[in-house]
Structure 1
Amino acid sequence: MILRRTQSLCPECLRRVEASYVYSATDAHTVVLRKTCPDHGTFSVPVWRESGEGAAATPPFASWSRPKNPSYPVNPRTPIRDGCPYDCGLCPAHAQHTCTGLFEVTKRCDMACPVCYAQAGSVSNPLRSEADDISLDVIAMQMDVLKGASGPCNVQISGGEPTVRDDLPQIIGLARQRGFGLVQVNTNGLRLARQQGYARSLRDAGLDSVYLQWDGVRESSFMALRSRECLEFKRRAVSNCADAGLGVVLVATVVRGVNDGELGDLLRLALDMGPAVRGLHIQPAAFFGRYPWQLEEAPRLTLPDVMAALARQAPELVSPSHLHPPGCENELCSFSAVYRRVQHNGKPGLQWLSDAGQSCCSPAPQTVGASVPPPAEEGARKAKQFVAMHWKGDDTAGESRVSPNSGADGFSRFLAHAGAEQRFTLSSMAFQDALSLDLDRVRGCCIHVVRPDGRMIPFCLHNLTASNGTRLYGEQP
């Protein structure tokens, strides 16, 4: 029985093909995306595993739904010629606003991880050349394009490893001057740990938040995914960020059989490190860029696998009933929940904030299954507001930016006064690769990479590689 129809790509030749979601012929609890290329045959990949009963039961595929009315670009940058996914820029058919604009400011990296969607660094030449770095003038132009297209959305400065650029404070300043809602750096944390005062210099330049790569609680997991021990320097990075007043989000790349058994302990560790750590974001590995497995044999996790692992490993903190589909991107892309930090028997704990979670990124209960879906634009607006207000560090302008008399809506006032240091977000995003790509999900993407030519490409398409390494969208100049 076909549960849902869509379109996808052949993982061998990147040809657009028809695809459908069906239950696996070998496992009645697993939904797969199945597609057939006339030249390369049939492919299928698990995308949703329904598991268990009781406290760890995960939602059935059919129940995980969040319909939205599309929100098309006001000023599309590219025309429709060949159709999705070949016309991105964004084209007039893209159905969601930008929540986060991402700038890859360098191809260099001071690590050489076996798993890297950006294919940054290498064992022989981990730093590459500064000549590859995008100039400040081009970055300023990119930011102007994003601001004109998407308004004061959130921005993430990424790479490669952005902290290898000595002018990172200037890049942060360019973003701050343009009034973006949140300015965040995506980093491995090495320089934040090593260089005294570096976190403060970034904070002084206008940085709000650090998106810190942190995959588990055992060094064996870091060795498998990052080829080095990491726990000590990452702890120092968090401490230095806390001292500087920066908010930190721990970001875990999770691979089945490598570190999926550590999610409960990783959540406890995030809470133990105190209120500077604003949340834990879990990313089941998508197999694009660099990875050490064959594409069709890669050890995959689905969103329900992550839900079930959290509920089994940390039942005192998390229940699948806390976790909701997004109101912004496609429902198959992510889940999230919002909590208040509490103390239980002298240990850090979590209290689920059901109303806060619904208002930031999920439908209110009465709208589920409603005949008129809410507009995608409204989901994007609330998601941007919530992330910006929650992930900032201490003493930020953002916490005082919305006053009771400003005319802002009740949601904005709630965020401004709810106490960011006491809130904690738990979220997960399942990125798509050449096997799992769903063009309906692509059209609802709200995370867009801004390229040097000004085109804005959905994150998964920007990084997508065929099984032989061919990129759907070529290397940036």
Structure 2
Amino acid sequence: MFAEGTLLSSTESVCPVCLKRLPANRVRYGEDVYLEKECPQHGFYRTVIWRGTPGFTEWARPKVPVFPQQPFTSIDKGCPFDCGLCADHRQEPCCVLFDVTERCDLKCKFCFASAGKKDSSSEPSLKKIEGWYRRLLQAGGPFNIQLSGGEPCMSDDLPEIITLGRSLGFTFFQLNTNGLRISRDVAYLAKMKDAGLCTVYLQFDGTNDEIYSRMRGRAIFAQKMQAIRNCADLGIGVVLVPTLVPGINTDEIGRIIDLALAHAPTVRGVHFQPVSYFGRYPQAPSDAERITLPEVIRAITEQTQGRIQRESFLPPGGENAHCSFHANFVLMPEGELRPLTRRETSSCCSTSTPIQDGSRKSRLVTAKHWTVARPPVTSEPKQILGSWDDFLERVNTYSFSISGMAFQDAWNLDLERLRECYIIHVSREGKLIPFCAYNLTNQLGLSLYRPQSQFLNT
């Protein structure tokens, strides 16, 4: 199988055992692309990073880099060991994650945070979080904020955290949650809405309890649906976020999209995340346990019986092209999902995009499309759209996005991609760390940046 590989390009990565930085190659075998690297101490690694069409080189989108307005760390050991952001990072933040707690009311089989039953003594104070907000303003913000964890709803401070951010000029807040508390505590959800919560980013792995029992350890599908209904009652947008694990839920892609559309316009879209192996996971991964972005795109087309076409999906304008895909649609009254995006492969790589434009556009588009837009109170729902104004009104109210993002782990980490990351974690010390660096763990589960194992960052 691997006898006739073609070298596409070179990059850098890390050893999955010792996390030492290593030279790496992107090598094509047939239609598939692998990342290859060798550690002098721990041996050779080959990991699939792209399978089939759309092709790896076809998907590339050149960008002009933009460096941090205010670097907070100096370059000493090099990427990924100097994150802060350092002066060598090549993208502005778009979405910034605050870990407001390490506690969680689940113990999922797959968890990048290795969250669980911990006490609240180490949770950041409002004063600490104010410092995080101010650090983001120094870095060129305000940016979009995602409240995360652990399970952020284990904290009672979320309304105050949102209120504090709004007082400092931040306008878009999303809640990254398993949905358990907001399924039963409507009063708390309402407090967050009143404070300024825009979107619930809801863990949603499938449409039956067998999947949740296997991935999350509990049968919680009913709670997921109640969380959606509660958000609908309060006018809060919801994005469904499935973690895709081969052999467990990759055949659920079409059913998840159908369920999302059935609950539009409250559900604003689906954001697929192929499983990555960092934090807590059952064993060292094989290639059979990975699904790549082009496979997800093809599965969307196949499992929706061609209603959603591959040509509707675009590479990102902000982060590295091989990190994600997205497509925007409008749900028409008769049930048609009409695409608003279309990929023109003949010209996709002809010009370079200023990368900061992509980040800023992504912030605005995310805030617009993932927030519920109320229809005019004087208008009855239209079954026939007879004018351009009617159509624009429909787009505003019934826009729907389908996207996917492939996070990186120690086996497939590409430092070129990492330097262009715009999903940023704020550390306890106020450093701005790209998501895949912050959550990076070796095969023993020890990390560079997460608090429980910072001793490795030496």
Q: Same fold (TM over 0.5)?
A: yes
- Structure 2: distance between partners of 1:81 and 1:144: 25
- Structure 2: distance between partners of 1:285 and 1:365: 28
The partner residue of 2:196 within 206, 211, 214 is: 206
Given that residues 63 and 355 in structure 2 are in contact (C-alpha distance below 8 angstroms), is that contact kept between their aligned partners in structure 1? yes
Match of 1:409 in 2: none
Q: What letter is aligned with 1:44?
A: R
Superposed, which structure 2 residues align to 1:163-174 within 5 Å?
163-174=153-164
Query: What per-residue deviation string (whole Å, max 9, x for no partner) do you get for residues 23-54 of structure 1?
Result: 24xxx22211111111111101111110xxxx
Stretches of 4+ aligned residues off by more than 3 angstroms? 295-298, 364-367, 416-420
- Structure 2: distance between partners of 1:48 and 1:429: 13
Match of 1:432 in 2: 408
- Structure 1: distance between partners of 2:16 and 2:245: 20
- Structure 1: distance between partners of 2:51 and 2:346: 27
Given that residues 439 and 450 in structure 2 are in contact (C-alpha distance below 8 angstroms), is that contact kept between their aligned partners in structure 1? no
Given that residues 337 and 425 in structure 1 are in contact (C-alpha distance below 8 angstroms), is that contact kept between their aligned partners in structure 2? yes
- Structure 2: distance between partners of 1:251 and 1:59: 23
The alignment partner of 1:339 has SS state of strand
Query: Is the aligned partner of 1:19 residue 2:14?
Result: no
Q: What letter is aligned with 1:202?
A: M
Instruction: Evaluate the alpha carbon distance shift between residue 272 and residue 84 of structure 1 in structure 2; reply closer, same or farther with a 3 A threshold.
Output: same
Q: What letter is aligned with 2:21?
A: R
* TM-aligned CA deviation for residue 367 of structure 1: 5.8
Match of 2:32 in 1: 30
Given that residues 26 and 33 in structure 2 are in contact (C-alpha distance below 8 angstroms), is that contact kept between their aligned partners in structure 1? yes
* TM-aligned CA deviation for residue 451 of structure 1: 1.1
Match of 1:349 in 2: 336
- Structure 2: distance between partners of 1:162 and 1:10: 32
The partner residue of 1:389 within 359, 368, 386 is: 368
- Structure 2: distance between partners of 1:385 and 1:438: 27
Match of 1:285 in 2: 275
The partner residue of 1:315 within 287, 299, 305 is: 305
* TM-aligned CA deviation for residue 297 of structure 1: 6.4
The alignment partner of 1:426 has SS state of strand
The partner residue of 1:90 within 85, 90, 101 is: 85
Superposed, which structure 2 residues align to 1:114-193 within 5 Å?
114-121=109-116, 126=117, 128-193=118-183
The alignment partner of 2:189 has SS state of helix
- Structure 1: distance between partners of 2:9 and 2:170: 37
- Structure 2: distance between partners of 1:246 and 1:148: 30
Given that residues 328 and 340 in structure 2 are in contact (C-alpha distance below 8 angstroms), is that contact kept between their aligned partners in structure 1? yes
Match of 1:267 in 2: 257
Instruction: Evaluate the alpha carbon distance shift between residue 395 and residue 272 of structure 1 in structure 2; reply closer, same or farther with a 3 A threshold.
Output: closer
Query: What per-residue deviation string (whole Å, max 9, x for no partner) do you get for residues 211-241 of structure 1?
Result: 0000011211111110111211111101111
- Structure 2: runs of 5+ lacking an equivalent: 1-5, 376-391
* TM-aligned CA deviation for residue 5 of structure 1: 0.9
Q: What letter is aligned with 1:21?
A: R
Given that residues 425 and 433 in structure 2 are in contact (C-alpha distance below 8 angstroms), is that contact kept between their aligned partners in structure 1? yes
Query: Is the aligned partner of 1:251 residue 2:241?
Result: yes
* TM-aligned CA deviation for residue 342 of structure 1: 1.7
The partner residue of 1:75 within 56, 70, 79 is: 70
- Structure 1: distance between partners of 2:13 and 2:99: 26
* TM-aligned CA deviation for residue 395 of structure 1: 5.1
Given that residues 254 and 285 in structure 1 are in contact (C-alpha distance below 8 angstroms), is that contact kept between their aligned partners in structure 2? yes
Given that residues 58 and 345 in structure 2 are in contact (C-alpha distance below 8 angstroms), is that contact kept between their aligned partners in structure 1? no
- Structure 1: distance between partners of 2:451 and 2:49: 28
The alignment partner of 1:295 has SS state of coil
- Structure 1: distance between partners of 2:287 and 2:47: 10
Match of 2:429 in 1: 453
* TM-aligned CA deviation for residue 381 of structure 1: 1.2
Comparing 198-207 with 70-79, which one deviates more in the overlay? 198-207
- Structure 1: runs of 5+ lacking an equivalent: 51-57, 359-363, 397-415
- Structure 2: distance between partners of 1:115 and 1:136: 30
Match of 1:413 in 2: none
The alignment partner of 2:451 has SS state of coil
Match of 2:3 in 1: none
Instruction: Evaluate the alpha carbon distance shift between residue 182 and residue 420 of structure 1 in structure 2; reply closer, same or farther with a 3 A threshold.
Output: farther
Given that residues 287 and 298 in structure 1 are in contact (C-alpha distance below 8 angstroms), is that contact kept between their aligned partners in structure 2? no
* TM-aligned CA deviation for residue 417 of structure 1: 7.1
* TM-aligned CA deviation for residue 284 of structure 1: 0.2
* TM-aligned CA deviation for residue 162 of structure 1: 0.7
- Structure 2: distance between partners of 1:316 and 1:296: 30
Q: What letter is aligned with 2:421?
A: C
The alignment partner of 1:197 has SS state of helix
* TM-aligned CA deviation for residue 447 of structure 1: 0.5
Given that residues 251 and 281 in structure 1 are in contact (C-alpha distance below 8 angstroms), is that contact kept between their aligned partners in structure 2? yes
Query: Is the aligned partner of 1:373 residue 2:373?
Result: no
* TM-aligned CA deviation for residue 298 of structure 1: 6.8
The alignment partner of 1:220 has SS state of helix
Given that residues 181 and 385 in structure 1 are in contact (C-alpha distance below 8 angstroms), is that contact kept between their aligned partners in structure 2? no
The alignment partner of 1:243 has SS state of helix
- In angstroms, what is the RMSD of aligned CA positions? 1.8
- Structure 2: distance between partners of 1:150 and 1:207: 22
Given that residues 9 and 437 in structure 1 are in contact (C-alpha distance below 8 angstroms), is that contact kept between their aligned partners in structure 2? yes
The alignment partner of 1:83 has SS state of coil
The alignment partner of 1:309 has SS state of helix
The partner residue of 1:105 within 94, 100, 106 is: 100
Q: What letter is aligned with 1:368?
A: C
Match of 1:241 in 2: 231
Query: What per-residue deviation string (whole Å, max 9, x for no partner) do you get for residues 338-370 of structure 1?
Result: 0001244xxx3311012xx77xxxxx8786232
Q: What letter is aligned with 1:376?
A: I
Q: What letter is aligned with 1:246?
A: I
Percentage identity across paired residues of the two chains: 43
Q: What letter is aligned with 1:112?
A: K
Given that residues 330 and 395 in structure 2 are in contact (C-alpha distance below 8 angstroms), is that contact kept between their aligned partners in structure 1? no
The alignment partner of 1:130 has SS state of coil
Given that residues 48 and 304 in structure 1 are in contact (C-alpha distance below 8 angstroms), is that contact kept between their aligned partners in structure 2? yes
Residues matched between the structures, number = 432
Q: What letter is aligned with 1:369?
A: C
- Structure 2: distance between partners of 1:425 and 1:138: 34
